[in-house]
Structure 1
Amino acid sequence: MRLAHISDPHFGTEEAPVRDALREDLLREAPDLVVLTGDITQRARQAQFRAARAFLDSLAPLPVLTLPGNHDLPLFDLFTRFTAPYRHYRRHICASLSPLWRGRRVAVVGVNSTRMLRHKHGELPAPLVEQVARQLAALGESFKVVALHHPLEIIEPSDRRNRVRGADAALAAWIAAGADLFLGGHIHLPYCVATGDGSRDALVLQAGTSMSTRRRNGRPNSYNLVRFVPIALRGAGEAGLRRIEIEERDHDARIGRFTIVTCREAVCTGSGWSLLSQGAVPLPG
């Protein structure tokens, strides 16, 4: 099972060559699911949503799970923001703000971390955290993934204000309910970290901006390709372990393609997920 994690295309600021290269790479790799973690548009305008819809349609037959970001709520149209903030998103992208995808071994739970009264920052109220925890606990798939727009963990002190409100409570409840991997965007910075209280850890995977000119500190556009391996095959002593392999793919403007720049591998033992390796050489197989 493979999952492509893209985020923050910000249609209205997209670069056409990068957009087309992303489409080509996704269709070439043909993941089982594409997850888009928000900020689909730059200013929640209908023309931007239509452009996003055309891009998503061009990925057919790949299934796509989408979530709204703070940029997908109207900023200047205050009447729409306070009366029907998700109207354009629901009309053009997805009717559900909390989609669920279930495969043979992997389930992905979508969580809406945006709030009408918050211009930029996200929030996870206690009732929502409890609802998602119950949903996770009821799933029987080998791998449980939670996707949302705002980051649950940060690596740069300057991003402290961008971490979603209620992150600590959400991580504790959702990891206890069986979550293995959290997907996020918002800050246009790709990274992967293990998180938890030590008794059971999970992974937080962030994606950069997939095609927008709003690149952070000159970093290239990027997305993640995730492979879920239910049984490790590298040695008899590892039988029964679960593995996640993650490729960060960056857009190389010199050749007009997305290429693998970082490979990460994580393994799940009795205490949860641990990152084992990271390098610039593609993983075998």
Structure 2
Amino acid sequence: MTRLLHLSDLHFGFERVALVEPLLDRINGANPDLVVVTGDLTHRARRAQFAQAAEFLRRIEAPLIAVPGNHDIPLYRLADRMMKPFRRYRRHIAENLEPIGHVGALRVQGLNSVDPMSWQRGMLSAAQMRRVTEALAPDCINIVALHHPMQQRPEVDKQLMRGAREGLALFEMQGVQLVLSGHLHRWSAGAFLGPDGRQILQVQAGTALCARRDDRQNEFAELEFDQDALLIRRHVAPMDETGFRPPQELRFQRRDRLWHPA
């Protein structure tokens, strides 16, 4: 059994301050094998915000990988965004923007989906898609972690990332089993499976710490893998409550290479 925690959209600089310690307690109390953070560690990519985010990550006791989100590059300083968009991220968080986490039977490939030319939308290039498919491990559950989702519900009003459709089709054909993303501040797990299942299960995280009242809640996900069975525990902290509620549970099963709700 291998346990992975998925966090996204911390937004330090506009974080829910009172939830920082309860979140750390939940993370470390879960004793995960790996923590994956899918971007937007800061709200406006400022030095002080990156320092806050880095201090938070240092207090996580498990191995950790993170990828940037669009809020982790400058928005208003156009010269910096074009010429050195990830300078502060590299200095404070990690030099590698596309890290790999490998624990037990899980292999997690981080992807940098941030596009400095189109601040919010994001992009996945053909070269990135190739790197993922060429490095797939046949004996592992292959997971891709990136900030921007590769599929969206019809009611979402943000543009889908460039390259998302092509990347999703290629990943599914080549054997990626799971995609972790964030960006929308909306939870979704298994929404795109279809009645007959699907080879890729997508888990879109809500926001772990952003204080925007319209989000209504903060949350993160705990994924527990046991061979072809997956248990997801969704930890939710409503904005009008002081901490996290007991986790909600969802179960999925892989049969004949397809994921199904269990």
Interval containing the TM-score (normalised by the shorter chain): over 0.9
1:175 aligns with 2:161: no
Task: Render the CA deviation track for 1:227-247: whole Å, top value 9, x for unaligned.
Answer: 0111xxxxxxxxxxx011111
Question: Hey, what does 2:125 align to over in structure 1?
Answer: 125
SS of the residue aligned with 1:130? helix
Q: Identify unmatched segments of 5+ residues in structure 2.
A: none
Is contact 1:245–1:264 with CA below 8 Å preserved after alignment? yes
Task: Render the CA deviation track for 1:179-233: whole Å, top value 9, x for unaligned.
Answer: 1111000000011125479695211101111011125x44210000000111xxx
Is contact 1:194–1:201 with CA below 8 Å preserved after alignment? no
Shift in Å at residue 154 of structure 1? 1.6
Question: Hey, what does 1:238 align to over in structure 2?
Answer: none
Shift in Å at residue 261 of structure 1? 4.5
Structure 1 counterpart of 2:110, which letter? G
SS of the residue aligned with 2:120? coil
Shift in Å at residue 118 of structure 1? 1.1
Question: Hey, what does 1:52 align to over in structure 2?
Answer: 53
Shift in Å at residue 254 of structure 1? 6.6
Question: Hey, what does 1:90 align to over in structure 2?
Answer: 90
Distance of 2:97 and 2:28 partners within structure 1? 25
Shift in Å at residue 145 of structure 1? 0.9
Distance of 2:240 and 2:198 partners within structure 1? 43
Is contact 2:47–2:88 with CA below 8 Å preserved after alignment? yes
Shift in Å at residue 257 of structure 1? 2.8
Question: Hey, what does 1:234 align to over in structure 2?
Answer: none
Structure 2 counterpart of 1:188, which letter? H
Question: Hey, what does 2:101 align to over in structure 1?
Answer: 101
Whose Rg is larger?
1
Distance of 1:121 and 1:252 partners within structure 2? 28
SS of the residue aligned with 2:231? strand
Q: Give the % identical residues.
A: 34
Is contact 1:106–1:141 with CA below 8 Å preserved after alignment? no
Task: Render the CA deviation track for 1:56-80: whole Å, top value 9, x for unaligned.
Answer: 1111x31111010001011122221
Is contact 2:67–2:97 with CA below 8 Å preserved after alignment? yes
Q: Kindly tell me: are residues 189 and 196 of structure 1, through their superposed partners in 2, closer, same or farther at Cα, counting changes over 3 Å?
A: closer
Q: Which residue of 191, 202, 212 corresponds with 2:188? A: 191
SS of the residue aligned with 1:257? coil
SS of the residue aligned with 1:223? strand
Question: Hey, what does 1:26 align to over in structure 2?
Answer: 27
Report the TM-score, using the length of structure 1 for normalisation.
Answer: 0.86
Is contact 2:216–2:238 with CA below 8 Å preserved after alignment? no
Distance of 2:215 and 2:46 partners within structure 1? 27
Is contact 1:134–1:177 with CA below 8 Å preserved after alignment? no
Is contact 1:8–1:209 with CA below 8 Å preserved after alignment? yes
Distance of 2:154 and 2:220 partners within structure 1? 19
Question: Hey, what does 1:7 align to over in structure 2?
Answer: 8
Is contact 1:104–1:141 with CA below 8 Å preserved after alignment? no
Q: Which moved more, 1:123-132 or 1:110-119?
A: 123-132
Distance of 1:195 and 1:171 partners within structure 2? 12
Report the TM-score, using the length of structure 2 for normalisation.
Answer: 0.93
Shift in Å at residue 156 of structure 1? 4.3
SS of the residue aligned with 2:131? helix
Q: Which moved more, 1:109-118 or 1:257-266?
A: 257-266
Distance of 2:125 and 2:193 partners within structure 1? 20
Equivalent residues in 2 for 1:157-176, closer than 5 Å: 157-159=155-157, 161-176=158-173
1:220 aligns with 2:208: no
Structure 1 counterpart of 2:168, which letter? L
1:270 aligns with 2:256: yes
Structure 2 counterpart of 1:174, which letter? F
Is contact 1:193–1:275 with CA below 8 Å preserved after alignment? yes
Shift in Å at residue 256 of structure 1? 3.1
Structure 1 counterpart of 2:92, which letter? H
Distance of 2:159 and 2:10 partners within structure 1? 18
Q: Identify unmatched segments of 5+ residues in structure 1.
A: 231-241, 277-285
Distance of 1:193 and 1:123 partners within structure 2? 23
Distance of 1:142 and 1:43 partners within structure 2? 36
